[in-house]
A and B are shown apart, each in its own frame.
Chain A
Amino acid sequence: MSEKSISFEFSQKLVGIQRPLYSYILSMLPHREDAEDVLQEVNLILCKKTDEYSPTGNFKSWAYNIARFQIMAHITKKKRNRISFSNELVDALAEENTDTDSLHLYQKALQICYELLPEHMREIAHLRFKEECNIKVISQKVGRPLGAVSATLFRIRSNLMECVKIKLSSVELESG
């Protein structure tokens, strides 16, 4: 197999699109490992198809189209093993436009909000999002029932959502 050279511009765009692309994939494949697998496949396909990339074209749209195809293929492949959304909903979600331009601001606000989480929530958030523990393992580690852990994770997400909304304006102001 011949090696292809990837332009600086192409690689910049590819790096820049990673977070929104992962979010796009996760919205239709709400399972972390599946989303990571598909992201990796899409990245490789994009690199392989670098010849087809036009600098004047819409890179995001191109990448998302490839991702959509890979997501559908993945859903079909894993249908027996995982519960998943209907094809109709996956199509509807794929059509939704999300604001990816201000993602870096969202990210800054999230960092601030994460630090504001109460200690007991931070412990569970750490186990879930950093250590990638499942609910059962978290339940064992913190010595709390499964239902309580699920409820805490729901509150963590809700708190972070609310907090980010509030902090976004100040982060925007700071960023000028």
Chain B
Amino acid sequence: MNEKSTPKEIARLTSSLLDETISRQDLVYLNSLLLSSKEHRKKYLEIIQLESLLHWEASDSSVLEALPSKKTETIFFPWISSIAAIFLAIAGSWWSFLHFSSEVDSRILSSFASGTTQDRFVGSYNTTSSSNPNPYRALGNAQFTDVNPLMIANEFATRAMELLSADSHNNGSPTGTLENYGALNSWSRLSDLSVAANSGVLPSRGESMLQFSPLFISMDTQEAQIVETVQVLDVREALKISKKTQLPPLISASVKFNQSHGECQESAEYGLSLSAYRGTEAEEGNRLLHVEKSTSGDLNPSTWHEIRSEIEIPAETDFVVVSLSTRKSGPDALLANTSAYFSDDLELSLSIGNHLEVGPI
């Protein structure tokens, strides 16, 4: 290639890079071209600057007003007085709008809505696992539906109980991770739901946190809700120790919640549930105990809200299901999915007097 054609070649390769159509071979070539000369890098950066302005202004809608289509709305929060807060609100809502526009996968919705067989459940899961391991997320933000989110949460719990009772300690399970803590086995979806800093919210601790799936919104009742089964504990062995020692088995749990900026003017209500079941089906008839603690959050993405709970596990319990929920009600509920909802620092522990202490699980 001669010197004269190089800038055009850089422009062509950069264009295909930005459109994600570049081949690995061309990327290597572009990489070498850019490394070889400051002039090449200057040309590349000029194209990037143009691209960033096109992206930025298109998202912001403030400059490219000549565009014939509808504008992306920039959301302002009149109740936030400081410019700093306005900035965060704009940035947060802008980001949320960019990232909550995935399409509804009606096949998945219908598979959850129409039945609860194991095959269907696994099949539905697999349809989304290649790009996104969480089937809820494929539903996007248009979840105006009468599907009961508890039904899906119970489906997760039942599936986990079946896995735990089959003693199939296969860490590659598509529905979560199985872990052993001596006298306690656990199934966890925490890694599947884990995300890094997201939608303007930083993890409370460490580098990741749990993101709730989009809320199910009922137009009739004006309620939005999501229930995530995050952990199922097989307590059968632990309860044998409790029986021998005549000491009560206790489970303690704590978790924090948060939400990103969105269009809602009211904060969400968060819940932590601990449910004890006999058998391997998460059904009302098998439930021996259900304790739910809740708290109200706020609209500030930098503050986390903690819930603590403790239960004494009933004697005939086989499994304890830990679930987290987010709810909104009233007119605001219809806008619930303009925010993203998170939890972090979930800590569980099991104790039987001084004889057994397992945790954090």
- Which residues in A have some Cβ–Cβ distance to B below 8 Å? 1, 3-8, 10-12, 14-15, 18-19, 22-23, 26-27, 30-33, 35-37, 40-41, 43-45, 47-48, 77, 83, 85-86, 88-89, 92-93, 96, 98, 103, 106-107, 110-111, 114-115, 122, 125-126, 128-132, 134-135, 146, 150, 153-154, 157-158, 160-161, 164
Residues of B within 8 A of A93 (CB): 34, 41, 44-45
Residues of A within 8 A of B57 (CB): 107, 110-111
14 cross-chain CB contacts under 8 A: A1-B302, A19-B52, A22-B56, A26-B52, A30-B18, A40-B199, A44-B200, A85-B27, A93-B34, A103-B49, A114-B66, A129-B58, A153-B15, A161-B46
B52-75 contacts to A, CB under 8 A, are: 52-58, 63-69, 72
> In the bound complex, do residue A92 and residue B55 qualify as a contact, i.e. CB atoms below 8 Å apart?
no
- B200 → chain A closest CB, angstroms: 6
A92/B66 contact (C-beta < 8 A), A27-B44, A41-B197, A98-B49 known: no
- B353 → chain A closest CB, angstroms: 35
> In the bound complex, do residue A12 and residue B19 qualify as a contact, i.e. CB atoms below 8 Å apart?
no
Task: A92-B34, A96-B41, A129-B54 given; name 17 further pairs at CB < 8 Å.
Answer: A5-B82, A6-B84, A11-B83, A12-B83, A18-B91, A22-B55, A27-B44, A30-B17, A40-B95, A43-B88, A93-B44, A96-B42, A111-B57, A111-B63, A160-B50, A160-B54, A161-B46
A48–B54 CA distance with the chains assembled, in angstroms:
29
A47–B92 CA distance with the chains assembled, in angstroms:
13
> In the bound complex, do residue B88 and residue A135 qualify as a contact, i.e. CB atoms below 8 Å apart?
no
Name A25's closest neighbour in chain B (CB-CB). B52
Residues of A within 8 A of B18 (CB): 30, 157
A77–B198 CA distance with the chains assembled, in angstroms:
15
Name B18's closest neighbour in chain A (CB-CB). A30
> In the bound complex, do residue B35 and residue A114 qualify as a contact, i.e. CB atoms below 8 Å apart?
no
Residues of A within 8 A of B303 (CB): 1, 3
7 closest cross-chain pairs (CB), A and B? A6-B84, A23-B52, A11-B84, A154-B15, A130-B58, A27-B48, A129-B54
- A140 → chain B closest CB, angstroms: 14
A125–B58 CA distance with the chains assembled, in angstroms:
10
A161–B11 CA distance with the chains assembled, in angstroms:
10
A4–B65 CA distance with the chains assembled, in angstroms:
36
Q: Is the interface of B mostly helix, strand, loop or mixed?
A: helix
A131–B200 CA distance with the chains assembled, in angstroms:
22
A83–B29 CA distance with the chains assembled, in angstroms:
13
> In the bound complex, do residue A22 and residue B52 qualify as a contact, i.e. CB atoms below 8 Å apart?
yes
In the complex, B47 has a CB within 8 A of chain A: yes
Residues of B within 8 A of A11 (CB): 82-84, 87
In the complex, B21 has a CB within 8 A of chain A: yes
In the complex, B20 has a CB within 8 A of chain A: yes
> In the bound complex, do residue B63 and residue A107 qualify as a contact, i.e. CB atoms below 8 Å apart?
yes
- A29 → chain B closest CB, angstroms: 10
> In the bound complex, do residue B20 and residue A135 qualify as a contact, i.e. CB atoms below 8 Å apart?
yes
Residues of A within 8 A of B65 (CB): 111
- A83 → chain B closest CB, angstroms: 5
Residues of B within 8 A of A154 (CB): 11-12, 15-16
Residues of B within 8 A of A44 (CB): 197, 200-202
Name A77's closest neighbour in chain B (CB-CB). B196
